[in-house]
Amino acid sequence: LSGRLGEVFERLTKRGALGEGDVDEALREVRVALLEADVALPVVKSFVAKVRTRAVGAEVLRSVTPGQMVIKIVNDQLVEMLGGESAGLSLAAVPPVPIMMVGLQGSGKTTSTAKIAKRLTDREKKKVLMASLDTRRPAAQEQLKILGEQAGIATLPIIAGQMPVDIAKRALQAARLQGFDVVMLDTAGRLHVDEALMAEVAAVHAATQPAEVLLVADALTGQDAVNVAEQFKSRAGVTGIVLTRMDGDGRGGAALSMRAITGCPIKLLGTGEKLDALEAFHPDRIANRILGMGDVVSLVEKAAESIEQEEAERLAEQFEKGHFDLNDLAQQLRQMRKMGGIEGLMGMLPGVGKMKKQMAAANVDERILVRQEAMIQSMTAKERRRPEIIAASRKRRIAAGSGTTVQDVNRLLKQHKQMATMMKKVKKLGKKGVMRAGLS
Ligand code: GDP
Ligand code: MG
């Protein structure tokens, strides 16, 4: 998708002015691109229609940089359709507040239950009790218990043979007696939505009156996830969506479809198997992901503030070449250190969000930049120019030479690859776009 949109916008940035025909031509391709990203057809149609209304006319035609104007309109419309500001969990009820998790088997319900419980415990200092109502899968209740032990979250003691509704009632009862703030109810899934599942969900709902019914859906299942969401929405009183496997290759098309078709807010994103891999939903970030560009414009603007003119020219040339080797990375690392806030800067690069999180998790700061520079210094000139030749033995040598580990070297190489990919994307925007955005 990103490549495709990149091309469209490249052509637009190269034009002096936009006619109605130009907008239509561009939107035809935006349409195809969204379909390729697995966005549902009706959603694509209404999206394109709305963008067209906003794009055709004075707003765009008078703009100095038509291409950027269109990027902005497409982006704004995406953010709007994704639901504007992110909505948190609503826990404003008399404790214990029940939160019910529903969804298909394997969508990530149990994992998300533990993630949310941990988040509420760590960040909001809530006392959370988790209960598994999954009496279908043999080890399901055990699974939640183990996750609870890992995360230090209480789970309801397992009583063999008890039915889901009875477990739910027992959980609420225990929570009341023991002063828990929140009770997370992890329900059983099915391979497909069927009557038995819906009846069970409805019964638990009636017995517990949950403050939130969170539908857990796998972002990678695209169109299927949307169909499932529609059915759960109409029959299970879903109040919000947790989209899992956002760490996968999916472009976020499912997020757009789900939000547009069900009207349910997407509340949280699962971004990995670990219990802290849970993020608030930020429509602007997902819009960027669907467009595949990151916040390139603000990145260049911020860079321009502290990079000297000469270096800025050089950077623009790099962008233009679309080439980015480890020498360039070393220079970037130095600039980042000069600019101080690597956190803010990295957040703007596509694909770097994950790495930023790893860094935050490891509680590292500027030192990591210094170590990364040390690794690059331990490389030969050839390795710096052609990182793809760095195989296992070279990695060991570099790690030994820089006092780091092979894992560190792998991380650095991965980071470089992500940045190089971004450079290629930026190149597609055209040098002019980059220069206009504030580098010169
Ligand atoms: P359930 O059947 O809906 O309860 O699904 P589980 O919570 O048991 O999850 C099924 C599998 O998906 C497990 O291996 C999880 O580790 C994995 N999983 C859950 N959420 C995520 C996520 O956000 N990203 C990734 N990569 N894996 C996930
Ligand atoms: Mg489960």
Tens digit of pLDDT per residue, the chain (440 long)?
A: 445 555 555 555 544 456 677 778 778 777 877 887 788 888 999 999 988 888 776 444 333 355 556 666 787 788 888 887 767 898 988 999 999 999 999 999 999 999 999 999 999 999 999 999 999 888 999 999 999 999 999 999 999 999 999 999 999 999 999 999 999 999 998 777 788 888 999 999 999 999 999 999 998 887 777 888 888 888 888 999 999 998 877 777 888 888 888 889 999 999 999 999 999 998 877 887 776 554 443 443 343 343 345 455 666 676 666 777 888 778 777 766 655 445 555 554 544 545 555 555 444 556 777 888 889 989 998 899 889 899 999 999 999 999 999 999 999 999 888 878 777 776 665 544 444 443 33
The confidence score (pLDDT) of residue 331 equals 76
**Cα separation values, 209 from 75, 107, 213, 241, Å:** 38, 23, 9, 18
Strand 182-186 to 154-155 pairing: unpaired
Contact predicate 38/253, CB 8 Å:
yes
CA of 269 to the centre of ligand 1 (A): 12
Which DSSP string do the residues of 159-207 spell out, in sequence order? -TT--HHHHHHHHHHHHHHHT-SEEEEE----SS--HHHHHHHHHHHHH
Least Cα distance to 96 among 168, 176, 208 occurs for 176
Instruction: Choose the residue to mutate in 104, 109, 111 for probing ligand 1, maximizing ligand atoms within 8 Å of C-beta.
Output: 111
In this prediction, residue 287 carries a pLDDT of 80
State ipTM.
Answer: 0.99
Which residue, chain included where needed, has tokens 């069970």? Answer: 200
pLDDT of residue 437: 40
Distance, in Å, from the CA atom of 213 to the CA atom of 118, rounded to the nearest integer, reads 18
DSSP-assigned beta bridge partners for residue 218: 244
Specify whether the CB–CB gap between 319 and 434 falls below 8 A: yes
Q: Which residues contact 66 (CB under 8 A, 6 or more apart)?
A: 12, 13, 15, 16, 17, 18, 22, 60
Buried b (16+ CB within 10 A) or exposed e, 229-250: bbbbbebbebbbbbbbbbbeeb
From the CA of 111, give the closest atom in ligand 1.
7
> Which ligand number lies closest to the CA of residue 108?
1
- In the block, which residue shows the tokens 């500027």? 366
Cβ of 111 less than 6 Å from ligand 1: yes
C-alpha pair distances (Å), 11 with each of 16, 195, 214, 320, 433: 10, 51, 42, 15, 11
The pLDDT assigned to 71 comes to 66
Q: Write down the CATH superfamily of domain 294-439.
A: Signal recognition particle, SRP54 subunit, M-domain (1.10.260.30)
Ligand that comes closest to the CA of residue 242: 1
> Is the CB of 109 within 6 Å of ligand 1?
yes
Alpha helix positions (H), 210-308: 223-236, 253-262, 283-291, 296-306
- Determine the length of the chain: 440
Q: Are 168 and 201 in contact (CB under 8 A)?
A: no
Ligand 1 site, residue 272, Cβ cutoff 6 A: yes
Ligand closest to 107 (CA) is 1
Identical topology for domains 2-82 and 97-290: no
Contact (Cβ atoms closer than 8 angstroms) between residue 99 and residue 214: yes
Q: Position of tokens 């003119």?
A: 309
**Terminal alpha carbon distance of the chain:** 29
Most ligand 1 atoms within 8 A of CB, residue of 109, 273, 275 to mutate: 273
Residue extents of the structural domains in the chain: 2-82, 97-290, 294-439
On whether the 97-290 domain is CATH 3.40.190.10, my answer is: no
SS3 154: strand
Q: Give the domain 2-82 fold.
A: Four Helix Bundle (Hemerythrin (Met), subunit A) (1.20.120)
